[in-house]
Structure 1
Amino acid sequence: MSPAPSPATEVLKEFDFSVPPFDLLTREQAAALGHRMDIGFEPDGACILEAGTSSNFLYMILKGHVAALDVRDDRPEPEIFAEYGPGDLFGSMACLTGESRHRYEALEDTLLWTIPADAFRDAVESNGRFAAYFLESLSRRASLLPVTETSSDLGELMLTRVGEAVLAEAVILPAGTAISDATRGMRDRRVDCLFVDTPSGLGIVTRTDLLEAIALGGHALGDDVAPLASLFQALVSMTRHRIERVAVRHKGQLLGTLGLAEVLSHYSSHSHIVGLRVARAGSLEELADAARGLTPLVRTLHATGARMRQLGELVSALNARILSRLYEITLPRTLQDRCCLLVLGSEGRSEQILKTDQDNALILGEGVSDADVAGYAERITAGLKALGYPPCPGGVMVSNPEWRGTVPQWETFIQKLVASVSPQSQLDTAILIDAHPVAGDMSLFEPLRAALSRLGQNQIWLHHFVRPAIEFHTPLTMRTPFGKDPKVDIKRGGIFPVVHGLRVLAVEHGLDCTNSFERATELAERGVMSAALTADLQQALAVMLRLRLGQQLESVQEGAIPDNRIDFGKLRRLDRDLLRDALRVVREFQEVLGSRYRHGL
């Protein structure tokens, strides 16, 4: 380490101990560390710390950039693992364990805060939380970081006007309507109460009223519904005593009804609003209106710190309801229970959060021909496009005859995929392994599930199938060479190796679950992976999904098409630290996979 040149005194300033992880120190511990800190200078190209050696300092970059290089005997040249910029720390493991993971080289003239190793170790020994940040697993370190400040759903609820809530349709029937016709009207209009225009005023009747009238009151199906309807003024009075449903008027016009379900839906971050609109949609236009609520919902939940696993499951559940409703709207009743609609890939894993490519397929039941469903399949694909789900560039959609067929045809299709080791066949097999039924006769999927589970018995095929999970690596760079894209594909080098590696292990061990987090948990329970690696893998996947989603939402806000690339240089320092740690976990997992399947590669 060279002494800082004289201009360094102009940039030397008081160290900010309010930034993590230094905010974990007490005032006295921070003061003791601050007295030992200094500033140093490294010229462009200098080796600051060699791989496998100890370090005399913990470094924090004040100005400039440093590369962390992977140095391995089986590679002729070091590979860039990541770049570090202002505010980034490095050298902690070399101080604590005496062995650096990487070689660190200055990419330009660089100014560094330097903390003597003995002072750093004293701080670690005197503060358990500070020590955990450097010594514990990724999952433990993530828990030490400040969480996103959440908004108050209760405050939002209190400020929401009744007219802004989702109202059930106000269905008004004339006096003299038979109970049977009123019941049929509720079913057809998808509401749980009706208004009756009686001579005494507007009354209301609910499903419970009708049920009790027939079962307990001795009324016949042909009886007039009007006597069952409580008068509107009586209803208003009863709302003060916690009656569950009220009518909503505006300037004398009846707008609809507001019940407990609608109120609770607004309270729960709008997720039930989408579900209510989907359930009540009677046309493609109404379904599209419901689907438009998904992205704002995701944006709200992401901003309030929702966990990625739960967020993915919630959005996938809503997507499944949308697809199921589209299926019901599109297919005639004579076909709905004789086919099964599948979602594939990330949607099948409950990990698709924003609307990306359509990946779906159709199983035809006994006696159903392709000609019977071809036209409806085209309408499903077109309908999904209208709902905001882009067509799949690879044609993995029900409108493609290759992705619909009878159970025997699907079993033959799976055999053909496994017989080939082409990249396209492996991709098709991967998304099919993640299939999940969402509409129609779900039992039609069971023979396919059994056929897919048998793939784990084919060891030769598994060795080919795992290869893509081991080959991809993504260096994290902050500086952009002229003419090169400043973003890195986090799916290719980070998310995919984890998801596909877990998929391969799940197939080998016959797991039925498709969600990556669930697969990791079940594999750990079976002793396939250690508990520590499992926890770190799940945290690494959550970190990468969260950071990708954040930049995807920015793209949507700017009117751009979201993709899998992230701009590493735009991330907060804490997120850069977590992402580097996440990719270290990915590398560790790739080494585990390589060791397990090495003899077949």
Structure 2
Amino acid sequence: MNLAIPLANSLHRATLDAIRRQAPFAAMGEDAVLWLVQRLSVAYYAQGEVLLEPAEQPPDALRIVKQGTVDGVTADGHSVFQLTVGEMFPLGALLAGRGAANRYVAETDTFCYLLPAADFHALLAMSPAFHDFCTRRIASLLEESQRAVQSEYALALDGEPRFARPLASLIRRAPFSVAPDTPLADALAGMEQARIGSVVVADAAGAPVGILTLKDVLARVTLAGVPLATPISAVMTPAPATLPDDAPVADALVLMARQGIHHLPLVKGGALAGVISEKDIFALRRLSVEGITSALSRADDPARLPALAQDIGDLAHSLLAQGMDAENLTAIISSLNDRVTERIIALESEPDRKLAGLRWCWLALGSEGRMEQTLATDQDNALIFDAADDAQHAALLAFAQRVNARLDACGFPLCKGGIMAGNPPWCLSAEDWQRQFAQWIDHGSPEALLHASIFFDFRPLAGDAALALALRAWLNRTARNNPRFLHQMAGNALRNRPPLGVVRDFVLSEDDAHPNTIDLKLNGATPFVDAARIFALAAGSPQTNTAKRLREAAHALKIPDAELADWNRAFHFLQLLRLRHQHGQQRTGLPPDNHLDPDTLNPLDRRILKEALRQARKVQARLAMDYGL
């Protein structure tokens, strides 16, 4: 039975002290929190009692869990989240002025603070911190956590966050550009006079159509013996990568690492606004992606590569400590790991005469295929090739095995499940790959599909990308036309439930190897990865990255922008938590893994972890609704 009892004055101070330990009250002014406390009452609910039913009318009060656990149940009886001490509900209904969408049930004997709806809206107007939290719930929590991380690493950022500042802030001089018909002699003279390492070739409207760097000059002009009267358009790199000048620095870091470039034209309204180099970006701090990428491109001895791979980990630690978000950080790690793999492939394939004339493509799978690698990653790769006879197939297998061994030496362990290009089942012709995917799609058992899901994230890494792109186009057409396959994939995805508890916050592992932990990869990030893969296949999207898959599928699936943003924030918090956990292990000499004891988290991160896992349940609820599961 609900017994609402006003707080007596003598309890105000104790209530104030207790409630200020929770977000968002810890960030609110003393006067606002005291005003809140003076208007609270306390209600008791016995185990199993319904606190709030779905209704057409807006709820009469905001409820804050004081003690106990509240279960959120959908209309069809599915439990989708649990609320514990300090958490508020139903925020969405109160903010939108609508009835609650879920039933709220006391899982244990529960006490709640009640704040009348009118006072809730008054507090929104009174306290910016309270308003910000209620309207941007998970985003607000993540921002508070990020501030705590930066404080923990004791790294103060200069003014604005380094990686969020616009690229335009790095422009130091007016851009130097020339027309496509400019003679090389004039362009090089201009570069020398301006003391710059690149020249942009722009059309009549000022839009970049090419770029030439000093490194290009050596290979394409000096060594090739090209006359200096030649128009620059004959030797420039056409269609250069560009970014808007208001894009964040993090975007340039990812693009440079992914494409192996060191100069980047910036555009405004389509016209050239400036040029930045990696030196401009890394003047912000004493680190250098350029040093790693340049050393990799020059490395002719495979024995040098393990040390360079270690440098990538060290750089990732620094970026993590300086507050880079997980989406960009995992993309940079993946991009640099790509460069290691590409260099190994070049060193192993170029001298191999048996590969001459063969069309083949190295495929990145799993987290590498999704551009989501963390500090703990093994190998997941495959090889696709055009028609080859037995001898050529044997040569490709031997080449792939050498690459797998080199990657292992660089700190990317051999896949325990054998999913590597050097294993015959995963070194196949284009026709055989289609046959393999068709077998999974048309006849695969749920167990087979579960193990095969990693292959659906393939991305071309080196060699003839056209082979991979053709396979992707065929796969998307085939998957969209097979509802049974997508239904089975969805059923598999829903077997992996986020580990939210009822009596305790989390369901912890009882595995002897990792007792009392949560597997942040399998039980945290994977529900988002699996759902995004299915959404992408259903929509025919070529994307492999989880966040990009969700963003592309959102329009087709009519997912509200706010809901999509919360899914991606939750996914990237789990990725960030994995990175921080792995970083901490490496600093103490332990091998990195994904098994986190949630009791080691501070209260804020523990709360965000719960919210992130709830968002995983919401993604799964959407998947269940779409496929009738």
- Give the structure-2-normalised TM-score: 0.67
1:51 Cα deviation after fit: 4.9
- Evaluate the alpha carbon distance shift between residue 510 and residue 386 of structure 1 in structure 2; reply closer, same or farther with a 3 A threshold: same
Aligned to 1:32: 35
Please state whether the residue corresponding to 2:150 is helix, strand or coil: coil
Please state whether the residue corresponding to 2:69 is helix, strand or coil: strand
- After TM superposition, the structure 1 = structure 2 runs for residues 15-94 of structure 1, keeping only pairs within 5 Å, are 17=20, 20-36=23-39, 50-52=51-53, 58-59=63-64, 66-71=68-73, 81-82=81-82, 84=84, 88-91=86-89, 93=91
Aligned to 2:496: 472
1:309 Cα deviation after fit: 1.5
- Evaluate the alpha carbon distance shift between residue 579 and residue 152 of structure 1 in structure 2; reply closer, same or farther with a 3 A threshold: closer
1:264 Cα deviation after fit: 6.1
Q: Deviations over 1:559-588 (max 9, x none)?
A: 444333333333333323333333333223
Residue 313 (structure 2) pairs with residue 295 (structure 1)? yes
- Evaluate the alpha carbon distance shift between residue 90 and residue 263 of structure 1 in structure 2; reply closer, same or farther with a 3 A threshold: closer
Aligned to 1:240: none
1:306 Cα deviation after fit: 1.2
Residue 458 (structure 2) pairs with residue 435 (structure 1)? yes
- Evaluate the alpha carbon distance shift between residue 380 and residue 153 of structure 1 in structure 2; reply closer, same or farther with a 3 A threshold: farther
Aligned to 1:549: 579
Pick from 287, 311, 319 the counterpart of residue 329 of structure 2: 311
C-alpha separation in 2, matches of 1:480 and 1:12: 26
C-alpha separation in 2, matches of 1:543 and 1:537: 10
Q: Deviations over 1:269-316 (max 9, x none)?
A: 433332222222222221111000122222222222212221121111
Aligned to 1:358: 379
- After TM superposition, the structure 1 = structure 2 runs for residues 189-268 of structure 1, keeping only pairs within 5 Å, are 267=285
- Evaluate the alpha carbon distance shift between residue 518 and residue 418 of structure 1 in structure 2; reply closer, same or farther with a 3 A threshold: same
Asked if 2 retains the 8 angstrom alpha-carbon contact of 1:70 and 1:79, the reply is yes
Which residue identity is paired with 1:542? H
Residue 409 (structure 2) pairs with residue 373 (structure 1)? no
Q: Tell me, which stretches of 5 or more residues in structure 2 are unaligned?
A: 163-196, 198-213, 230-276
Please state whether the residue corresponding to 1:50 is helix, strand or coil: strand
RMSD of aligned Cα (Å): 4.3
- Evaluate the alpha carbon distance shift between residue 122 and residue 482 of structure 1 in structure 2; reply closer, same or farther with a 3 A threshold: closer
- Evaluate the alpha carbon distance shift between residue 21 and residue 149 of structure 1 in structure 2; reply closer, same or farther with a 3 A threshold: same
C-alpha separation in 2, matches of 1:309 and 1:132: 23
- Evaluate the alpha carbon distance shift between residue 60 and residue 271 of structure 1 in structure 2; reply closer, same or farther with a 3 A threshold: farther
C-alpha separation in 2, matches of 1:584 and 1:13: 28
Q: Deviations over 1:177-198 (max 9, x none)?
A: xxxxxxxxxxxxxxx9xxxxxx
- Evaluate the alpha carbon distance shift between residue 30 and residue 305 of structure 1 in structure 2; reply closer, same or farther with a 3 A threshold: same
- Evaluate the alpha carbon distance shift between residue 466 and residue 429 of structure 1 in structure 2; reply closer, same or farther with a 3 A threshold: same
- After TM superposition, the structure 1 = structure 2 runs for residues 495-510 of structure 1, keeping only pairs within 5 Å, are 495-510=525-540
C-alpha separation in 2, matches of 1:59 and 1:476: 19
C-alpha separation in 1, matches of 2:92 and 2:294: 56
Aligned to 1:188: none
The number of residue pairs the alignment matches comes to 499
Aligned to 1:579: 609
C-alpha separation in 2, matches of 1:57 and 1:411: 55
Q: Deviations over 1:251-277 (max 9, x none)?
A: xxxxxxxxx967965747433332222
Which residue identity is paired with 1:381? N
- Evaluate the alpha carbon distance shift between residue 13 and residue 132 of structure 1 in structure 2; reply closer, same or farther with a 3 A threshold: closer
Aligned to 1:391: 414
Please state whether the residue corresponding to 2:303 is helix, strand or coil: helix
C-alpha separation in 2, matches of 1:482 and 1:412: 40
1:16 Cα deviation after fit: 7.3
C-alpha separation in 1, matches of 2:111 and 2:51: 18
1:376 Cα deviation after fit: 2.2
Q: Deviations over 1:432-470 (max 9, x none)?
A: 221111112222223322221122111221111221223
Aligned to 1:422: 445
Residue 541 (structure 2) pairs with residue 511 (structure 1)? yes
- Evaluate the alpha carbon distance shift between residue 66 and residue 569 of structure 1 in structure 2; reply closer, same or farther with a 3 A threshold: farther
C-alpha separation in 1, matches of 2:137 and 2:463: 44
Which residue identity is paired with 2:480? G
Residue 485 (structure 2) pairs with residue 461 (structure 1)? yes
C-alpha separation in 2, matches of 1:378 and 1:209: 35
Asked if 2 retains the 8 angstrom alpha-carbon contact of 1:47 and 1:104, the reply is yes
Residue 158 (structure 2) pairs with residue 134 (structure 1)? no
C-alpha separation in 2, matches of 1:575 and 1:482: 17
Instruction: Determine which structure has more spread, i.e. the larger CA radius of gyration.
Output: 1
C-alpha separation in 2, matches of 1:572 and 1:350: 29
- Evaluate the alpha carbon distance shift between residue 567 and residue 111 of structure 1 in structure 2; reply closer, same or farther with a 3 A threshold: farther
1:545 Cα deviation after fit: 1.5
- Evaluate the alpha carbon distance shift between residue 49 and residue 466 of structure 1 in structure 2; reply closer, same or farther with a 3 A threshold: closer
Which residue identity is paired with 1:270? S
- Give the structure-1-normalised TM-score: 0.70
Asked if 1 retains the 8 angstrom alpha-carbon contact of 2:363 and 2:461, the reply is yes
Residue 150 (structure 2) pairs with residue 149 (structure 1)? yes
Aligned to 2:245: none
Please say which of residues 548-557 and 88-97 is displaced more in the overlay. 88-97
C-alpha separation in 2, matches of 1:571 and 1:528: 36
C-alpha separation in 2, matches of 1:349 and 1:482: 28
1:595 Cα deviation after fit: 2.0
Asked if 1 retains the 8 angstrom alpha-carbon contact of 2:146 and 2:323, the reply is no
Aligned to 1:122: 122
- Evaluate the alpha carbon distance shift between residue 206 and residue 385 of structure 1 in structure 2; reply closer, same or farther with a 3 A threshold: closer
Asked if 2 retains the 8 angstrom alpha-carbon contact of 1:68 and 1:80, the reply is no
Aligned to 1:179: none
C-alpha separation in 1, matches of 2:616 and 2:507: 26
Residue 506 (structure 2) pairs with residue 489 (structure 1)? no
Which residue identity is paired with 2:483? Q
Asked if 1 retains the 8 angstrom alpha-carbon contact of 2:305 and 2:410, the reply is yes
Pick from 540, 557, 564 the counterpart of residue 534 of structure 1: 564
Asked if 2 retains the 8 angstrom alpha-carbon contact of 1:24 and 1:129, the reply is yes
- Evaluate the alpha carbon distance shift between residue 342 and residue 124 of structure 1 in structure 2; reply closer, same or farther with a 3 A threshold: same
Please state whether the residue corresponding to 2:436 is helix, strand or coil: helix
Q: Deviations over 1:377-396 (max 9, x none)?
A: 22211111111112212110
1:549 Cα deviation after fit: 2.3
Please say which of residues 434-443 and 130-139 is displaced more in the overlay. 130-139
1:325 Cα deviation after fit: 0.6
- Evaluate the alpha carbon distance shift between residue 572 and residue 367 of structure 1 in structure 2; reply closer, same or farther with a 3 A threshold: same
Which residue identity is paired with 1:149? Q
Q: Deviations over 1:339-376 (max 9, x none)?
A: 21110011101111224121100123344622112222
Aligned to 2:362: 341
Please say which of residues 398-407 and 520-529 is displaced more in the overlay. 520-529
Please state whether the residue corresponding to 1:466 is helix, strand or coil: helix
